[in-house]
Structure 1
Amino acid sequence: MKRLVGDLPWTHLARLWSGLVLFAFVVTHFLNHAIGIFGIPAMEVAQEFRIAVWKSLPGSFLLYGAMAIHISFATARVVGRQTWRIPWDELWQIVSGLSLPFLLMGHILETRVAGSYFGVDESYGQILFRLWPSNAAWQSVALVVAWTHGITGIHHALRSREWYQRWRNVVLILAVILPCAALAGFVTAGREAHMIVAEKARSPAQEAGIAQASSLIQSGVAVFVMLTLGFIAFSLLKRRRAHALTITYRGYGPVSVPFGTSILEASRMHSIPHPALCRGRARCSSCLVHILSDPATLPEPFVSEKAALTRIGLPANVRLGCQLRPTQDVSLRILMPMLEPGSKTLDDSGERQDWGLERQGTVVALDLRSFTALTRSRLPYELAILVNRFSSEMTQVVEGHRGRVDQMFGDGLVAVFDQDDAGRNARNALQAVRDMARITDVLNKQLTGALPIPIRAGIGVHSGRIILVRVDDGIHATAPLALGDTLAIANGLQLASKELLADCIVSKQTADASGLEFRSRDMQSIMIDGYDEPMDVYAISDRAALQKLVPKGKVQKAADALGITT
């Protein structure tokens, strides 16, 4: 099926990279403004470096080329939009983008056009003299609009990246500080300009040339607006006359939409909750839909959708709602759950909840040995006491070492440590394992005579990539649930502890990340069910062996942090 230019996969990258170039120009411009806090001479020095980059032939080509690409493809996307029922931040990005030509038109005319084509002095002193204070409010609004437009786009592009989740607060602080510093520099330097700068009068020829250029720019912007509105009106009329098809949503029933409408757009048209963290740009998988009808009748996925589906290994009957534009009637269900009935959808919830994250962490899997024998010989009340005591003690141990219990069952648990850097996570997990073994010994002493056999636990510890997802039934919100190979391997190590007659098995990845001395222990290679390659591990027989683990090189600071006496 033929698509609009603004919705082709390669245009997503074109808009993104051209937007990044423009944002880089804005950042350097704002930094130059911020230096105004130290005076106009400092601004002039910084401007020399900025001009050397952006007024050079490569810089000018890159800047104006990025501007043309970004405006063209963004406009095409706006024109091809099937519905205007969209999240507020996406609406703001569109409105702010369309308003920027009007806000910046006068500024561009007084600076780049006047200086490059009519020889007007465009030094900071002269520009500030003309802008302050008559145009100060207008320039400040343009600054804020341009900045928020760029920040919103970058946030949508990066929000699903693992490193961005770690640095998001730092990025937010910088995103607030820089425009505030630029405004402060503009105000300070603007006031200084009227005290130390003498205005250079323009010649009649320069005034006439600038007036003519202003007329041409205004005419160009007016033509652009008229063409854009005309295309939007034509697109609306075309959609009204287009052939309609039916999309049947499980739980919401059938809806009729114009031919060429994406599933995500259809959901928004009919107010059906449908999350899309990347705002329909195929950069995440939050808008996934499960096709209930024959998936063979659907068009083949484009490059960006195919890449996303392949990366997470989804079957043919699961597609991205933002990219799928059915050509025939289709039946489906939305995979990502709602927050709760009648509330805002994930699409509108902003950062209230992270529904899908990827982190590096350490997983501890623990299982009580011979628990079935205990259930056969004990009364239900006795089992309830044991299970509740075990659950309470182990939860306190895990949380005391900055972890959290991800899953708790009658005879075991899975704990996740993903709060800090990889090394600290691994050390916290091993310290928790040491205390788990100690708690097990305490329970055995306290329950002597009440248990037919002593409590023993097998533990597996592994570090690596963890996927965190929220599972919500629409009524009860839950904490993030950890998934992925790291959990499966940790559980496999726990099972292998039976064969190796060990209390705890630690993977080489965890041992290396922890910075603790494992070289004195024998490393073994074992096979784990479901994996073809052997894994190097360290088998630890008892709690005393855990106590002997010390930092490599016996670094006292690390030892103090772990509570280990070296």
Structure 2
Amino acid sequence: MAAGAIRSVVTEQQLRRARLLSGLIIFTFLAMHMTNHVFGLISVEMADYARRWFLPIWRNKIGSTLLYGSFIVHIILVLGSLYMRRSLAMPWSEAAQITLGLLVPVLLIDHIVATRLSSSLFYLRDSYETVVHTLWSKSPFNGAKQSLALVVIWLHGCIGIHFWLRYRPWYSAIWPGVLTIGILLPTLSLLGFVQMGRTMATPVYLLSGYPGGYYDPTSLSADANATLMRIRITMHGTFLAAVLCVFTLRAVRWLRERAHLITIRYPGGEAISVPRGYTVLEASRMAGRPHYAVCGGKGRCSTCRVQVIEGEDNLPACDAQEERTLSRIKAGKGVRLACQLRPTGPVTVTPLLMAKTPSDEAPDSYEAIPGREREIAVLFCDIRNFTTLTESRLPFDIVFLLNRYFNVVGQAVEQAGGRMDKFIGDGAMALFGITGSEELACRQALDAARRIIEGIENLNEQLSGELPDPLRIAIGIHTGPAVVGTLGYGNARTLTAIGDTVNVASRLEAVAKDLDTKLVMSAPVADLAGLDFSSIPSREISVRGRTEPLKVYVFEKGVRKALEGLDLDPGSA
């Protein structure tokens, strides 16, 4: 089969990288081209002047080869991926990106012929004056079509880059700025085109031509126009034929594969018959069965993983990408990635992450996200003598006291830039670094600890007549990798973190209780925060579940003063 022959020469990962690289080159050109349009808001002359700075980058042998070569390669790879995709069932975001991508050549071919080819073959002056006059005054329909093309190409590129970067730890921190640029640049670019068109449409504006103004620089001879029309028809016809060829080959493959069906069984006895060569994820999508695939089926995450129950003899070996991902999560025997697994015979599998049905989840909500690994800081705090304090108090009094305490902790965490995770009894858990760097997360966690300690001291003063003994707080802080995602059911769903980092932070809070101190933090927190804790006592402790001892800093006395003496401004990291 053609798809198998392609995979024997190059891997899917290599094809995706080539498609990404070619797309980035096209996207870079488009961003520069639209930036040039923006100068049209000043004047046509200013846009042409700025063009002198952008044009040399692309109007040379290397630049032209990169740009037009990337355009051709990208189209070929997109059509190739469309052919190799076994099923056209996919999330709406993937469908939107593919649809926009197929519209790009249709909308762009005429513009390429009317500018670059006209300039190269017939020496047409493709300046802003020439092109805008043609698109605005002589052919407004083409002007509207090219404006649409600009938006379509930009959206297609933005979606692709978003899919590529969305789970990078640093991407969420720059997302607001990226979104702002993504909206402003095409908007200002189109406004620049409109401004230039309106300026040139005024009677007082004369096109610069031969002396006397009788020469229209946008005009070509009848023979030249006929030649360009033949080129347009050939390019449109070639692209249309290529698309039809892809779908024809898919239809032929579908008919041939009907004779080689395999059965994939799921928990509960559900069975899906698909042609041999389909991935388990494609089978799930064909059957309309919910199946997590956060990375879009590219093998970069493990959310689609399945446990193979029966049919291990019908499993092909893992490719390099799948092997790396499975090794990273220390997958057990029989665990495979559904997006990479193409069974050669009947199998029975169990998805290890059960996806919710579309009606059960809110896909646009920040809370409704599957787990992904991030470097975060985790803070646990607890009231050390709370049981003693509440033994002789009425339940309503205990609720009042807890709410005052929760208010102190919650405000401290939010003001420091963190996120309250949960309250458990008289304990609390907070996360830092869900957005932003790990260094900033550690500084924010320390700032929150200082604010909590200050708040508890103020609360003790306010309730001095009500409490037999002042409230005493114990705080533990640790940093490291954790899986951050949505856990829970129904209205009880919340964004939380799980993993060894969370467990260690909880145990450091218990150590603070045992040592009768207000704060215990791990050495990695101090190192990443970039602060000097040389004056703070340190020791190595054994943490249950870890083979190596962990160095921690123990704030035994004067913890508030020690933290106040340090620069804990969260924005200074």
Pick the TM interval, shorter chain: 0.7 to 0.9
Tell whether the 8 Å contact from 1:80 to 1:235 is kept in structure 2 after alignment. Answer: no
Report the CA distance between 1:91 and its aligned residue. Answer: 1.3
Tell whether the 8 Å contact from 1:250 to 1:333 is kept in structure 2 after alignment. Answer: yes
C-alpha separation between the residues in 2 aligned to 1:387 and 1:326?
Answer: 59
Residue number in structure 2 paired with 1:137: 144
Report the CA distance between 1:252 and its aligned residue. Answer: 6.7
Report the CA distance between 1:494 and its aligned residue. Answer: 2.7
Coordinate RMSD, CA, aligned: 3.4
Matched, 1:162 2:148: no
Matched, 1:244 2:261: yes
In structure 2, what residue type is equivalent to 1:354?
I
Residue number in structure 2 paired with 1:64: 68
C-alpha separation between the residues in 1 aligned to 2:427 and 2:445?
Answer: 20
Tell whether the 8 Å contact from 1:363 to 1:429 is kept in structure 2 after alignment. Answer: no
Choose 498-507 or 393-402, whichever is displaced more: 498-507
Matched, 1:221 2:224: no
Identity of aligned residues (%): 32
C-alpha separation between the residues in 1 aligned to 2:82 and 2:381?
Answer: 53
Residue number in structure 1 paired with 2:449: 430
Deviations 1:163-203 (A, max 9, x none): 11122222112111111111111111223334342432324
Deviations 1:468-524 (A, max 9, x none): 111244x44511111234323322323433665533212233345556663332333
Matched, 1:182 2:189: yes
Matched, 1:303 2:323: no
Report the CA distance between 1:369 and its aligned residue. Answer: 5.3
> 1:549 aligns to what SS in structure 2?
helix
Residue number in structure 2 paired with 1:278: 295
Report the CA distance between 1:559 and its aligned residue. Answer: 12
Deviations 1:93-142 (A, max 9, x none): 11111121111111010011111222221122111111114222111111
Residue number in structure 2 paired with 1:564: none
Tell whether the 8 Å contact from 2:402 to 2:426 is kept in structure 1 after alignment. Answer: no
Counterpart of 1:73 (choices 72, 77, 84) is 77
Q: How does 1:138-537 map to 2 (within 5 A)?
A: 138-194=145-201, 195-198=205-208, 199-200=216-217, 201-239=219-257, 241-251=258-268, 253-293=270-310, 295=312, 297-339=314-356, 343=359, 353-367=368-382, 388=399, 391-401=402-412, 402=414, 403-410=418-425, 412-418=427-433, 421-422=440-441, 424-435=443-454, 438=457, 446-448=466-468, 458-473=474-489, 475-497=490-512, 500-512=515-527, 518-537=533-552
> 2:564 aligns to what SS in structure 1?
coil
In structure 2, what residue type is equivalent to 1:549?
L
Matched, 1:545 2:569: no
> 1:470 aligns to what SS in structure 2?
strand
C-alpha separation between the residues in 2 aligned to 1:445 and 1:246?
Answer: 73
C-alpha separation between the residues in 2 aligned to 1:230 and 1:524?
Answer: 70
Report the CA distance between 1:149 and its aligned residue. Answer: 1.0
C-alpha separation between the residues in 1 aligned to 2:484 and 2:106?
Answer: 44
C-alpha separation between the residues in 2 aligned to 1:145 and 1:3?
Answer: 33
C-alpha separation between the residues in 2 aligned to 1:152 and 1:256?
Answer: 32
Report the CA distance between 1:231 and its aligned residue. Answer: 1.7
C-alpha separation between the residues in 2 aligned to 1:156 and 1:471?
Answer: 23
C-alpha separation between the residues in 2 aligned to 1:294 and 1:497?
Answer: 52
C-alpha separation between the residues in 2 aligned to 1:412 and 1:559?
Answer: 24
Deviations 1:220-266 (A, max 9, x none): 23432332232232233233x24111112224722211111111111
Q: How many pairs were matched up?
A: 545
**Would the alpha carbon gap of residues 503 and 422 (structure 1) be closer, same or farther in structure 2, given more than 3 Å must change?**
closer
Tell whether the 8 Å contact from 1:289 to 1:320 is kept in structure 2 after alignment. Answer: yes
Report the CA distance between 1:345 and its aligned residue. Answer: 6.0
TM-score by length of 2: 0.84
C-alpha separation between the residues in 1 aligned to 2:445 and 2:59?
Answer: 51
C-alpha separation between the residues in 2 aligned to 1:524 and 1:488?
Answer: 19
Tell whether the 8 Å contact from 1:243 to 1:259 is kept in structure 2 after alignment. Answer: yes
C-alpha separation between the residues in 1 aligned to 2:530 and 2:101?
Answer: 50
C-alpha separation between the residues in 2 aligned to 1:560 and 1:24?
Answer: 32
**Would the alpha carbon gap of residues 188 and 242 (structure 1) be closer, same or farther in structure 2, given more than 3 Å must change?**
farther
> 2:494 aligns to what SS in structure 1?
coil
Tell whether the 8 Å contact from 2:481 to 2:501 is kept in structure 1 after alignment. Answer: yes
Deviations 1:67-106 (A, max 9, x none): 2322122111112222222222211211111121111111
> 1:354 aligns to what SS in structure 2?
coil
**Would the alpha carbon gap of residues 48 and 484 (structure 1) be closer, same or farther in structure 2, given more than 3 Å must change?**
farther
Report the CA distance between 1:158 and its aligned residue. Answer: 1.1
Deviations 1:260-312 (A, max 9, x none): 11111111111111132332222333323233336564222222222222233
Tell whether the 8 Å contact from 2:453 to 2:473 is kept in structure 1 after alignment. Answer: no
In structure 2, what residue type is equivalent to 1:152?
I
Report the CA distance between 1:352 and its aligned residue. Answer: 6.7
Tell whether the 8 Å contact from 2:293 to 2:304 is kept in structure 1 after alignment. Answer: yes
Deviations 1:8-67 (A, max 9, x none): 222121211211111111111111122211122222222222221112222222223322
Matched, 1:104 2:108: yes
In structure 1, what residue type is equivalent to 2:159?
T
Report the CA distance between 1:457 and its aligned residue. Answer: 5.1
Unaligned runs of 5+ in 2: 209-215
In structure 2, what residue type is equivalent to 1:431?
R
> 2:377 aligns to what SS in structure 1?
strand
Report the CA distance between 1:362 and its aligned residue. Answer: 2.8
**Would the alpha carbon gap of residues 446 and 332 (structure 1) be closer, same or farther in structure 2, given more than 3 Å must change?**
farther
**Would the alpha carbon gap of residues 222 and 272 (structure 1) be closer, same or farther in structure 2, given more than 3 Å must change?**
closer
> 2:147 aligns to what SS in structure 1?
helix
Tell whether the 8 Å contact from 2:432 to 2:442 is kept in structure 1 after alignment. Answer: no
Residue number in structure 1 paired with 2:22: 18
**Would the alpha carbon gap of residues 166 and 472 (structure 1) be closer, same or farther in structure 2, given more than 3 Å must change?**
same
Choose 137-146 or 308-317, whichever is displaced more: 308-317
> 1:132 aligns to what SS in structure 2?
helix
C-alpha separation between the residues in 2 aligned to 1:4 and 1:267?
Answer: 25
C-alpha separation between the residues in 2 aligned to 1:310 and 1:69?
Answer: 33
C-alpha separation between the residues in 2 aligned to 1:217 and 1:549?
Answer: 69
Unaligned runs of 5+ in 1: 562-566
**Would the alpha carbon gap of residues 181 and 351 (structure 1) be closer, same or farther in structure 2, given more than 3 Å must change?**
farther
C-alpha separation between the residues in 2 aligned to 1:559 and 1:254?
Answer: 54
In structure 2, what residue type is equivalent to 1:539?
V
